[in-house]
């Protein structure tokens, strides 16, 4: 399987990505194939509008129960809101992945 070259975020989260405030995303096993060191285009989930480019730093396993204030800070969301969002998107999923990234191009925002 080749590494993905695009990633989507809910539209309300894209300003956080484009500003560099959001530096991780938590995904399930179906979205853990990103390759550290690769450049990825960021799009809005709802309208597929390009927002910026990021570089993937790491992809690491993360249990839902281990999500804490560190992850909330990196997601730029309150911990309660982050956990609720993850439960909504990935109901009953304990095995997740943390994808760390950094902003490299926000010229589309």
Q: If you count them, how many residues does the chain have? A: 109
Give residue 3's pLDDT.
86
Spot the catalytic one: 8, 14, 23, 75: 75
Give residue 107's pLDDT.
54
Dihedral class, residue 11 (left if φ above 0, else alpha if ψ from -120 to 50, else beta): alpha
H helices of the chain, where?
A: 14-18, 69-75, 79-89
Q: Which residues on neighbouring strands pair with residue 52, listed in sequence order?
A: 42
Give residue 109's pLDDT.
42
Spot the catalytic one: 8, 23, 25, 83: 25
Residue 60 among the catalytic residues: no
Residue 50 among the catalytic residues: no
| Tens-digit pLDDT string for the chain (109 aa) | 688 999 999 999 999 999 999 999 999 999 999 999 999 999 999 999 999 999 999 999 999 999 999 999 999 899 999 999 999 999 999 999 999 999 996 554 4
Spot the catalytic one: 8, 22, 23, 83: 22
Overall pTM > 0.85: yes
- Comparing CA positions, the residue from 28, 54, 29 lying closest to residue 106 is 54
Give residue 2's pLDDT.
82
Give residue 93's pLDDT.
94
- Give burial (CB, 10 Å; 0-12/13-18/19+) of 99: buried
Residue 25 among the catalytic residues: yes
């Amino acid at each position: 399987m080749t590494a993905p070259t695009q990633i989507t975020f809910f539209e309300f989260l894209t300003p956080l990505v484009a500003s560099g405030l959001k530096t991780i995303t938590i995904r399930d096993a179906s979205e853990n194939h990103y390759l550290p060191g690769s450049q990825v285009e960021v799009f809005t989930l709802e309208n597929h509008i390009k927002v910026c480019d990021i570089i993937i730093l790491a992809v690491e396993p993360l249990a839902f129960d281990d999500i804490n204030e560190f992850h909330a800070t990196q997601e730029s969301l309150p911990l309660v809101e982050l956990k609720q969002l993850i439960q909504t998107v990935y109901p009953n999923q304990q095995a997740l992945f943390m994808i760390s990234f950094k902003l490299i191009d926000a010229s589309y925002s």
